[in-house]
Amino acid sequence: MSIQDKLPEHLSTLRLKGKTLQFVVYRGTALEDKTWSETHVSSTHNGYGQVSSVQSHNVLKRECWIRLENGKERVISLPDDSSFAVRAGQAITLIGVHSQYLEKDTVYYIALADHASEKWAPLNQVTMIRRLAGTNSAAAQGLANLFVLATLGIGAIVLMLINRSMHSNYVMPINQRAQEIAQWSFQQA
């Protein structure tokens, strides 16, 4: 169940780059926190089509199942660092955001707050940030790739500056608001 009606007005909206974001919070209970490792293998081929090298790397995956107050269950991908953990039965607050500049009627979960430890963690926000910044389309990505190739790699510097700009214009203020909402939710418990 959303408790957005209880979210103070100064925490419920954020205006960034002319776009208004609406924040919502959902209370619930952690059901399960799973961690596993996936191995990704890739290979390169020489000019004759033969395998010339094989690389592999492990990726740590984490997810948490949550039962919201309305009885619905959600699975949330957690950050892969182990500094934030949730145990079954702990009260949590799931922080989400929606906007007319994002997909209609879609709430993006941006942070998870654990009431037992009074810690919060940002969740994967890449898709939401790219949508807000207008860089999520295949055409935008294709143009960016073409730009890098056309400028003999110098365009990579421009892309780095764009990413840095998205971080300071969107990620930092959104995470600041998520932290404020998490702190507020700890006081409400």
What is residue 63's predicted lDDT score, i.e. its pLDDT?
A: 86
- For 17-50, the pLDDT digits (tens) are 888 889 999 999 999 888 777 788 888 888 888 8
- Sorted by where each begins, the domain ranges of the chain are 4-188
**140 has a pLDDT exceeding 70:** no
**159 has a pLDDT exceeding 60:** no
- For 106-137, the pLDDT digits (tens) are 888 999 999 999 999 898 888 788 787 776 55
Neighbours of 61 (CB within 10 A): 13
Helix, strand or coil, per DSSP, at residue 36 = strand
Work out the percent of the chain whose per-residue pLDDT is above 90.
Answer: 30
Cα(104)–Cα(189) distance, integer angstroms: 31
Q: Which residues pair with 16 in a beta bridge?
A: 19
